[in-house]
Amino acid sequence: MLVPMRWVVLVAIVAACGGSSSAPDDDATGGSCSAARPEATGEGTYYDATGAGNCSFDATPADLMVAAINAPDYDVAAWCGACLEVTGPTGKVTVRVVDKCPECASGDLDLSREAFAMISPLSAGRVPITWHEVACPVTGPLAYHFKDGSSQYWTAIQVRNHRYPIAKLEAQDAGGAWQAIERVDYNYFVEADGLGPGPYTLRVTDTRGHTVEDTAIAVGDDVTRTGTGQLATCP
């Protein structure tokens, strides 16, 4: 097997506020706070959540304010890790998207029991909801989890601890060319031919157009590497 040319992986995270310098919600990093999706409406239900699911995150028994998003909105893991403020008949709750609800219609959310109880009695079972994207209350920098089996020959990276939905992960090779790494349905960015021996420089882009760059990210098998940067926060 030919070893692919060594990559310098640049993770570009497009962060949450900004746009062109002429717009009031723009900032110097090139993101746009006006890029957030409009408020959605649908129905809320609940399930026995663990924090794990189709997004391939670890179970979070100490934090079950989570939800499964409907299949049309899931869109190849586009909403994985995003935080949503959900309003129901008796209150509001902020949840993190960790799973996909295949049978849910567009706009619907399947909440954990704990989250559903914040917006309605569990006995209701199904209630009307509205929801919109908010910044996740993360602290510290982005993290990069390498899937089990990752190596220089097959590399799968999941971006974690991010404020806003991740739109793109790119890699820069030794010649300076940028390569977008394809995202798959289970929420990893996978380079089937590998990214080389590394270490990598990664560039992550979020759905609002901000970027974060991290360097010296070493490949590993089922390990998490901590970066140095974090996405900007929209007001």
Tell me the whole-structure pTM to 2 decimals.
Answer: 0.85
* Nearest of 137, 162, 145 to residue 15 by alpha carbon: 162
Within a domain: 28? no
Last residue of a domain, one of 134, 154, 170: 134
In the prediction, which pLDDT does 17 show?
A: 36
- Domain identity same for 120 and 150: no
In the prediction, which pLDDT does 173 show?
A: 84
User: The CATH number of the domain where 180 resides is what?
Assistant: 2.60.40.760
> Rounded CA gap, 205 and 12, in Å?
5
Within a domain: 235? no
- Domain identity same for 113 and 92: yes
- Domain identity same for 96 and 147: no
Pairing of strands 200-206, 211-217: antiparallel
- Domain identity same for 219 and 145: yes
- Structural domains counted in the chain: 2
- Domain identity same for 109 and 168: no
- State how far the alpha carbon of 90 is from the alpha carbons of 6, 83, 85, in Å: 55, 20, 14
> Rounded CA gap, 140 and 1, in Å?
39
* Cα-based angle 217, 221, 227 (whole degrees, multiple of 5): 25
Domain that holds residue 156: 7-16+139-226
Within a domain: 22? no
Ordered per-residue pLDDT tens for the chain, 235 residues? 343 444 444 444 333 333 333 333 444 455 677 667 789 999 999 999 999 999 999 999 999 999 999 999 999 999 999 999 999 999 999 999 999 999 999 999 999 999 999 999 999 999 999 999 999 999 999 999 999 999 999 999 999 999 999 999 999 888 888 899 999 999 999 999 999 999 999 999 999 999 999 999 999 999 999 999 998 888 7
In the prediction, which pLDDT does 235 show?
A: 72
- Domain identity same for 46 and 118: yes
- Domain identity same for 60 and 111: yes
Within a domain: 127? yes
Last residue of a domain, one of 117, 134, 151: 134
Within a domain: 75? yes
Last residue of a domain, one of 134, 166, 192: 134
- Domain identity same for 184 and 99: no
Which 3 state secondary structure label does DSSP give 184? coil
Q: Are 112 and 46 in contact (CB under 8 A)?
A: yes
Within a domain: 158? yes
> Rounded CA gap, 43 and 197, in Å?
47
Give rounded-to-5 percent helix, strand, coil for the chain. Answer: 5, 40, 55
- Domain identity same for 143 and 123: no
Within a domain: 29? no
User: The CATH number of the domain where 108 resides is what?
Assistant: 2.40.40.10
Q: Which two three-digit tokens encode residue 198?
A: 């590394």
Within a domain: 23? no
Tell me the residue type at 43: E
